[in-house]
Amino acid sequence: MNIQTIMVIGAGQMGSGIAQVAAAAGFQVLLHDSSPEFLNRGMLAINKQLSRNVDKGKLTPEGMSEIVSRIQSTEFVELAEQADLVIEAISENMALKVLLFHRLDSLCPAHTILATNTSSLPISEIAAVTGRPEKVIGMHFMNPVPVMPLVEVIRGLETSQEVFEVVYELSQRMGKTPVEVNDFPGFVSNRILMPMINEAIFTVYEGVASIESVDNVMKLGMNHPMGPLELADFIGLDTCLSIMEILYDGFKDSKYRPCPLLRKYVKAGRLGRKSGQGFYSYQE
């Protein structure tokens, strides 16, 4: 399989980051979003990140121009017919992903690989709505994509060895370190990370310690660069809750029960950095 053109669906923080690293690796990139506003924001984010690299001397202005020239933004998902690989990076919602993959299956040529950047949803269930389950795979990038080296490469039940090898090698070409993972709720990263964050929220909920104290214990005692509650705000409390619910539903184990305080914050619209208020305030 000769991957030349990659379509990234979803121009949010993850999608724009994936588009940037793919273009920097020399691929032609189609960045799709149904929202022109999100497309504009995504392209601005890419330009801002690349400009920082130019200012730091990590990239020449000519190099930046070359990368940006490889990215074509589009509101038309139909351009997926040009892609050798599609990487989906939309909301963490199974119903939306299933609808999208069913559509992509009808639009894309038979050789096209369909990848999902899901952080916790089952690859095999997404693949089952297509006529090419052997060509469906998980590529879970970390946030922020241009900085974080890890990609979890997740095999679905039907994913072929050839497709796995192509995606594994492609991740390396993007400058990432791929790690092979099997299809279980939360994979490795979120199966370990999210219960830690959830437990940190429980310690605040139960009055064990303050928000600042919990984060300081983990930063100063465990050498974490960010405290778990700071990290939850960065990820988005709604995303944390969604992943905990997927773990709880997938394993039917009470240790994955979302903390009531997490539910309360999400219902109140306190979602973290993106809403301006989470466990900490980000109001200017």
Residues in the chain: 284
Active-site positions read: 119, 140, 152, 190
Q: At what angle do helices 237-251 and 228-235 cross, to 10 degrees?
A: 100
| Dist CA 212 CA 279 (whole Å) | 9
- Looking at the DSSP bridge assignments, the partners of residue 283 are none
Please state the separation of Cα 120 from the chain's center in Å.
10
| Dist CA 191 CA 251 (whole Å) | 11
Any known ligand binding at 267?
no
Per residue, what are the HEC states of 213-253? Answer: HHHHHHHHHHCCCCCHHHHHHHHCHHHHHHHHHHHHHHHCC
Contacts (Cβ under 8 Å, ≥6 apart) of 219: 225, 226, 227
Any known ligand binding at 11?
yes
Any known ligand binding at 25?
no
Any known ligand binding at 53?
no
Any known ligand binding at 175?
no
Any known ligand binding at 186?
no
User: Is the bond into 228 cis (omega within 30 degrees of 0)?
Assistant: no
Any known ligand binding at 14?
yes
Q: Is 66 exposed, middle or buried (0-12, 13-18, 19+ CB in 10 A)?
A: middle
Nearest Cα neighbor of 246 from 92, 39, 77 is 92
Any known ligand binding at 264?
no
Any known ligand binding at 10?
yes
What separation in angstroms does the CA of 17 have from each of 41, 71, 258? 12, 12, 29
Percent helix, strand and coil across the chain, each to the nearest 5: 50, 15, 35
Any known ligand binding at 161?
no
Q: Which residues sit in the known binding site for NAD(+)?
A: 10-15, 33, 92, 97, 119, 143, 274
Q: Which residues sit in the known binding site?
A: 10-15, 33, 92, 97, 119, 143, 274
